Amino acid sequence: MKRLIGLMKLLALTALVGGCALPVFAQEAAAPDPMQLMMDNNSALRIGLDTVWVLVTAMLVFWMNAGFALVESGLCRAKNCTNILAKNFIVFAASTISFWVLGWGLMFGDGNGFMGMSGLWFVSGADNSPALGEAYASMNPFSTAKYAGVYGAINWTPVPLWAKFFFQLVFAGTAATIVSGAVAERIKFGSFLIFSFILVAFMYPITGHWIWGGGFLGSNNFRDFAGSSVVHSVGGWAALAGVIVLGPRLGKYGKDGKVHPIPGHSLTSAALGVFILWLGWFGFNPGSTMAAMNGTAIAHVLVNTNLAAATGSLGALLTAWVLLKKPDFTMVLNGCLAGLVAITAPCAFVSIGSGAVIGFIGGILVVLAVIMFDKLKLDDPVGALAVHLCNGIWGTLAVGLFYDNQIATDIAALATGLGRGAQFMVQLKGVFWVGLFTLPVCLIVWYVIKLVMGGIRVAAEEEVEGLDIGEHGNEAYPDFVITQPAGIHGISRGAMAMSEATAEVRIPKPAAN
Amino acid sequence: MKKIEAIIKPFKLEEVKEALSEVGIEGMTVSEVKGFGRQKGHTEIYRGSEYVVDFLPKIKIEVVLSDDKADTAVETIIKAARTGKIGDGKVFILPVEEAVRIRTAERAEAAV
């Protein structure tokens, strides 16, 4: 069988070389070197395969929007379901426009250490991709063409410019959609939409430039393979800023500091959403090679990704079982995502065993973080801060703690040559700079939107009635009677008129009959 | 005529319906309701915090029948719906003034 395949390959190659060579012979020009033709054909095949890989994985990442829509709507109340679905849907449309108009240019345009300066608008800069630049030569011995263009920081992949653009666009969209869950059930639809446009046009691409666009972090050995920092921490910091400016949902925290849980309306949605995200991550991380190469790297990264999701789920399950007495399924779902976020930066720099440990710690962290954010009265209905911010930071630091130079050379082709301690310090600095920029800038943007739009939070009456009717004029489930879930049924419209938004109102319990 | 309203545990509906048909009572109206009596609610845990669910799901069966069948019906319901544990529910018996069958305009016991 093996011999047969070998024979077929040889035949195919002969036909390829012969087929291309024939017309040249017919014109009786000087005979080209058959070896050169074979190399050219192999290069074309190589670029074709790499492009298919990049575009298919990008489509998987696009599909993560569906995952986020289901997770977030499932973990919120039925009366806000249309609103959350609408936010998750429209945010990708907004991201597409923002990233096309300006985001890509700021992120990948040649410029200084802080931001891109060339080819800023509408991805219009010079670029001769698909080209096999010198940087790609190590992966492709047939490489001869030189890269010429203004998006030099991403010339290490040979795929066409629009494949690079689409792959990076779906990542930018992911960062923006993270915000939606944390600010859910109380934000004005319009305010969220405007913030999404601004996030993807400015904040996301600037820190992205620092790390992936040739900026001061990436060129100083900071490593984030698929975006624990670039995508998840940035989305998390933006979400934290939104949560701070908005305040908690009505009835979530009592005056005595007691947490009144607000259960989500469909764990079926939430579970399907996390399955979709788990699948999508097989595009997110392995696709970040942006080339299929000889297959070793994408297989290593994919297995690391899957292991971290598995150990993250188990870590959260055990932590919830021990700390909260029951293996709360919503925590397990968050644990899976925590493992995935945590492995996103280190997946191509660490061994498979390290990947399992990183995911497991992520699963433990996410449960503790959910409880911590509730203690701090930072109301995050879906656990986006615990998943994306905490584990984005954890994953970025884990690159240093578990860094393996040999794997970084073989898998990521981005070795730094540093020891674990030194790499950890570099990672820590990167985490610091990303937070120091993104959180204050996002706070300012949220406050400016609040000022300009006359508030970013819906009226108390609308929050009680549900944002579906208030923001969109219709409901997700018009055939059903929607009741207040337990824990917050004390909030009535009458009580709302009398009390401030943060006051806790509980109807006295009826006497037993 | 009497109307019998029985609030029972949801999983007992099938048994009660079959027991009633066995004693010749065929028609009934069933609704999904919520409420509590001495059983009160129960606590649930969501993402690390406990909360009380006051209103538990129950099934309400309504049957209208002639006076002489009322006692049999009540006994049958009690027998079929009882588990012996708190939360089994209650049966209410109410007088009915009049009944009309919409299709034929028949009245009183001919209509039930």
B52 with A487: Cβ contact below 8 A: yes
Confidence bin at A137 (pLDDT 50/70/90)? low
CATH class of B2-111: alpha beta
Q: What pLDDT, on a 0 to 100 scale, did the predictor assign at position A494?
A: 38
Strands B56-65 and B2-8: antiparallel
- The contacts of residue A365 (CB under 8 Å, 6+ apart) are A338, A342, A386, A390, A391, A394
Q: What pLDDT, on a 0 to 100 scale, did the predictor assign at position A32?
A: 74
B48 with A512: Cβ contact below 8 A: no
Nearest to A261 among B38, B49, B54 (CB): B49
Q: Which residues of A touch B (CB under 8 A)?
A: 258-263, 320, 323-326, 328, 330-331, 367, 370-371, 374, 383, 486-487, 489, 509, 512-513
Peptide bond just before A263 cis, omega within 30 deg:
no
- Whole-number Å distance between alpha carbons of A268 and A175: 24
Least confident range from A21-35, A69-83, A315-329: namely A21-35
pLDDT higher than threshold 80 for residue A340: yes
Judging contacts by C-beta atoms under 8 Å, the chain B residues touching residue A487 are: 46, 51-52
Least confident range from A13-17, A393-397, A407-411, A476-480: namely A13-17
pLDDT higher than threshold 80 for residue A339: yes
Is ipTM over 0.90?
no
Nearest to A261 among B38, B40, B46 (CB): B46
Which amino acid is located at A341 in the chain? V
State both tokens at B26: 């065929």
Strand-pair partners of A461: none
CATH class of A43-112+154-453: mainly alpha
Q: So where are chain A's domains?
A: 43-112+154-453
Global pTM value: 0.85
- Whole-number Å distance between alpha carbons of A131 and A145: 6
Q: Cα-atom radius of gyration of chain B, to the nearest Å? A: 17
- Whole-number Å distance between alpha carbons of B52 and B43: 4
With beta carbons less than 8 A apart as the criterion, state whether A83 and A192 touch.
no
Using the Cβ of B47 and the Cβ atoms of chain A, whether some distance falls under 8 Å is answered with: yes
Judging contacts by C-beta atoms under 8 Å, the chain B residues touching residue A325 are: 45
Residue length of chain A: 513
- Whole-number Å distance between alpha carbons of A1 and A363: 46
State both tokens at B39: 């059983």
Nearest chain B residue to A332, by CA? B47
B54 with A489: Cβ contact below 8 A: yes
Q: Which helix (H) or strand (E) holds B44?
A: strand B42-46
Q: What's the longest Cα–Cα distance across chain A?
A: 105
Q: So where are chain B's domains?
A: 2-111
Using the Cβ of B45 and the Cβ atoms of chain A, whether some distance falls under 8 Å is answered with: yes
Q: Using DSSP, state whether B60 is helix, strand or coil.
A: strand
pLDDT digits (tens, 9 = 90+) for A373-388: 999 999 999 999 999 9
Confidence bin at A262 (pLDDT 50/70/90)? very high
A489 with B41: Cβ contact below 8 A: no
B44 with A486: Cβ contact below 8 A: yes
